Amino acid sequence: MFHGSGWFSFLMYDGQSKPRVSRALVRRVLGYAKPYRGKIGLVLVAILFSALLNLVTPLLFRQLIDVALPQRDAALLNVLALGIVAVPILSGVIAVFQRWLTASIGEDVIYTLRSDLYAHLQKMSLRFFTNAKTGELMSRLNNDVVGAQSAINSTLVSIITNAVAVVATLSVMLALEWRLTVLGLIVVPLFVLPARSIGRHLRELIKRQSELNAQMNAMVNETLNISGALLVKLFGRSAEEVERFRARAARVRDIGVQRAVTGSVMFVSLGLISAVGVALAYWIGGHLALEGVFSAGLIVAFGLYLTQIYAPLQALANAPVEFASSMVSFERVFEIIDQPIEIAEKPNALALALEQIRGEVTFENVSFRYGEGETPLSAVERGGVESVRAVFSGEKAEQALPRTQARTVALENVSFTIPAGKLVALVGPSGAGKTTITYLLPRLYDPTEGRILLDGHDLRDLTLSTLSAAIGMVTQETYLFHDTIKMNLLYAKPEATEAEIEAAARAANIHEFIMQLPNGYQTLVGERGYRLSGGEKQRIAIARVILKDPRILILDEATSHLDSQSEALIQSALERVMQGRTSLVIAHRLSTVLAADLILVLDRGRIVERGTHSQLLAQGGLYASLYETQFKRSAEQPA
């Protein structure tokens, strides 16, 4: 008898945190519905017909009691009986048709919204992802998009349906007997009393249940992923984690029971109030019927109308809160879609074919600062993993993970040129700015000051597809998708042939290893490539870049965590892949700096020395110190 969504929104509203909806937001949401105006019109027609059909049944009972039975009219009785059966059948058909319409509209709108959101996220710069929590983004793509879908499929349709039902039912009731109508509506204000007392307590239970669920889910995510499970086993904490999980699951269980009981008390109370209204109408109306003022059929019809009108009236009383709450999901999705695109492509950007690119790279007075241009997202308070406190300590995420950089100025007035086909090695202590340079060249970031040129063209004047095709990058932390080796290689060149894939793997010294696997190139690598060793993953990453065949190669050749055999194989593969290409390498090995046409020595975001190996050693500066502590030692290690 009661609409669950309406009661739930009523319970969640405590009178102090009423959500607000702007006209601009509503217009924007309605903009997504414009292509479906025809279907929306059919939905409104279906709602109207459904409301009118619901008014027929009480009138049939009135005729049955007042006419057919007293007059012993068997024919009329048969017709009325058929009508009582036909009305719900017809209502069901209309309801199914209406549900199909609303579902198709809602799914189409959400498809568009979800696609727009994902497409926009793909255009965001790396800076955005380093500052946004993954769980928060997943919440926008999943929870909030689903919430927006519910707003279209349920909330808006419910509001319209309830409004039509109330207007139609009240019109018929007033037309039949206005005194009984007033009598039946006297109890409506009593709905507020239990909703304000029990509802406030239930609201707190719901919020607390969300928090406890979030803590339990966060622990599951942290301890059951590959890295978390490995850490638990290495430290022998399996028993402790089981007990910790049981404790959190027990809290979820206990509060679930409390919520169920409190909710049951709430609905029983509201049901009793509804029963009081109906009983009052029957009682007083019955006495009047005994005096001949009303007919018995009229009293029965009114009782049925009252049971139909209480729930829609209550839902409409809370419609503003319910509507505003449903719009929050749209607002959160739009917050991301409205995030400015930092790495934007100019409308008239120049597209260069790969054969047109020579590969000359120039940095002109480039400076870069972290933290500029950031637009933080508002916290998602949904009780999901993204809003949970720290998994074990219980601290809030904002306290446990401060979003500040250790050093905001990453590069300052950096200038250098890499002639086409030459190798430049970047060396320097940790935090000197080497990785930042490698991120600026493929335009993962834009410089704060200065400019970067490719064959004399400012990177910002070229299309992003031109840069993507021209530049290949192998990072120190190799990332592989949870798919086959073949699919991970094809990510670089989807149209590559079997021969091209094999040639790239051979050049990366990984083909023989792959062929030894039971499924060869169809072997699943696992999450982040966890089934493979560090050296194997790195060689697959090199093969992926070879398959791409870029003009410019950027790589971090860190191999300190690999065994000597893997290191030798990777070094050999890198020498092949760098031949004939412009290469920018964060160097960790003596062989690389010896082969470099130019060595750039960075410290605290500045180029402090530049030259060849012999020139820099003769200067006796920072490079000479790094040579003694890093390069010379690695060269002396036995192979």
Tokens of 398: 């904002």
DSSP per residue, 365-426: EEEEETTTT--PPPP--SSSGGGPPPTTT---HHHHS----S-SEEEEEEEEEE-TT-EEEE
d(C-alpha 445, C-alpha 442), whole Å: 8
- What's the pTM value of the predicted model, to 2 decimals? 0.72
Q: Could you give the count of Cα atoms lying within 13 Å of 487 in the half-sphere of its Cβ? A: 11
Predicted pLDDT at 192: 59
Domain 1-176+313-340 has CATH 2.160.10.10: no
Residue 583, classed as helix, strand or coil, is strand
Tokens of 217: 């889910």
Q: What is the dihedral of CA 447, 451, 452, 456, to 10 degrees?
A: 160
Q: By the 8 A CB rule, do 590 and 416 touch?
A: no
Q: What are phi and psi of 318, to 5 degrees?
A: -105, 10
Predicted pLDDT at 546: 87
Contacts of 132-138 with CB under 8 Å at 24 or more apart are: 132/376, 132/377, 133/386, 133/397, 134/386, 135/384, 135/385, 135/386, 135/387, 136/377, 136/379, 136/380, 136/386, 136/387, 137/336, 138/386
The secondary element (H helix, E strand) that includes residue 584 is: strand 582-586
Rg (CA), the chain: 35
Q: What are phi and psi of 463, to 5 degrees?
A: -70, 150
The secondary element (H helix, E strand) that includes residue 555 is: strand 552-556
Residue 429, classed as helix, strand or coil, is coil
Contacts of 194-198 with CB under 8 Å at 24 or more apart are: 194/266, 194/269, 194/270, 194/273, 195/7, 195/10, 195/11, 195/266, 195/270, 198/262, 198/265, 198/266, 198/269
Tokens of 607: 């180029």
d(C-alpha 561, C-alpha 540), whole Å: 16
d(C-alpha 260, C-alpha 292), whole Å: 47
Predicted pLDDT at 400: 39
Taking the CB of residue 536, how many other CB atoms lie within 10 A of it? 22
Q: By the 8 A CB rule, do 235 and 182 touch?
A: no
Residues lower than pLDDT 50 in the chain:
1-17, 382-388, 397-406, 560, 638-639
Predicted pLDDT at 135: 66
d(C-alpha 385, C-alpha 138), whole Å: 10
Helices (H), 395-551: 397-400, 434-440, 464-470, 485-490, 498-507, 511-516, 534-548
Residue 80, classed as helix, strand or coil, is helix
Q: By the 8 A CB rule, do 477 and 558 touch?
A: no
d(C-alpha 482, C-alpha 522), whole Å: 12
Helices (H), 432-484: 434-440, 464-470
- Side chain identity at residue 342, one-letter code: E
d(C-alpha 626, C-alpha 547), whole Å: 34
What lies within 8 Å, CB to CB, of 366 at 6+ separation is 411, 413, 414, 415, 440, 447, 449, 450, 451, 452
Predicted pLDDT at 213: 79
Predicted pLDDT at 453: 95
d(C-alpha 400, C-alpha 572), whole Å: 43
Biggest alpha carbon–alpha carbon distance for the chain: 121
CA dihedral sign, ordered 434, 436, 440, 446: negative
CATH classification code of 359-371+410-636: 3.40.50.300
78 class by beta-carbon count within 10 Å (0-12 exposed, 13-18 middle, 19+ buried)? exposed
Cα distance from N-terminal residue to C-terminal residue, the chain: 80
In the block, residue with structure tokens 């995030």: 339
Q: Could you give the count of Cα atoms lying within 13 Å of 230 in the half-sphere of its Cβ? A: 4
d(C-alpha 212, C-alpha 248), whole Å: 7
Tokens of 152: 């279209």
Predicted pLDDT at 390: 59
d(C-alpha 457, C-alpha 468), whole Å: 15
